[in-house]
A and B are shown apart, each in its own frame.
Chain A
Amino acid sequence: MNEYPAVLYIEDDPLSRKIMEMLLCHDLDLAHVTMFADSTEFSARVQALVPKPDVIFLDVHIRPHTGFEILAALRTLEAFQRVPIVALTASVMNEEIQQLQNVGFSGCLAKPIDVENFATLFQQILNGESIWRIN
């Protein structure tokens, strides 16, 4: 893992993006943080990123392609088969959480983002731990 990890966050909620920007760019001082506000042509946009993301945070309920569709497409690409892809969801439905695990997300963080514990959770994700933090 790169000492200065690159992060991609695909999220249509501007407040969540703003919080994440503050956490990643200011609190953690990461230089390579990219955010997509929608999932249009996501595959080409993700593959064009330099450096390649070390971690991808993915909003599940996003349009036009859902987080499930994005995960499935990225996992078919050799370069993204082992990159941690963590779902972010405001859903509290157990069925959806079970579904996230079944389809192969690396973990899940509940929204709203837990700002007090984010740095610790982020480090655990970088260390390869599977984090399932549901409110």
Chain B
Amino acid sequence: MELMTLDRNRLEQLRNMSSEGHPEFLIEMIDLFLEEAERDLGVLKDSLFHHNADDVRFEAHALRASAMNLGAVRLGLLLRNLEEEASSGDLGDFKQIEAEYLRVKQVLGIERNHHA
């Protein structure tokens, strides 16, 4: 079964937390994720370019934690694969991750506008 870009159940859980008196919560989570992810992707690309396996592993893990918090399961899987194969990771892997991130960003943008 193909993984979804966003796990709707996870998003629903966060939406419920927002609805319990903190309407800004989901929007803040989305904004925080996009901000973190842009920075983490830059560091990850740099680490791959320099073949620094320890940093690749660390950054892939960090970005995966952020992504999974918002239910970005396919992005999380790509990052997990890179984390496990950090020493052989290359910029081809990064292009896949970046493409999936852009899909996540688009869907979250729609969600954000709907929720705002």
Contact = CB atoms under 8 A, between A and B. Distances in A.
Given A15-B69, A111-B69, A116-B13, A63 B29 contact: no
Q: Which range contains the number of A residues in contact with the other chain?
A: 20 to 34
Q: Which range contains the number of B residues in contact with the other chain?
A: 20 to 34
Contacts, number: 57
A63 B58 contact: yes
B51 interface: no
Contacts of A63: 58
Contacts of B28: 18
A61 B61 CA distance: 8
Interface in A61-89: 61, 63
A115 B33 CA distance: 17
Interface string B70-82: 1100000000100
A13 to B, nearest CB: 5
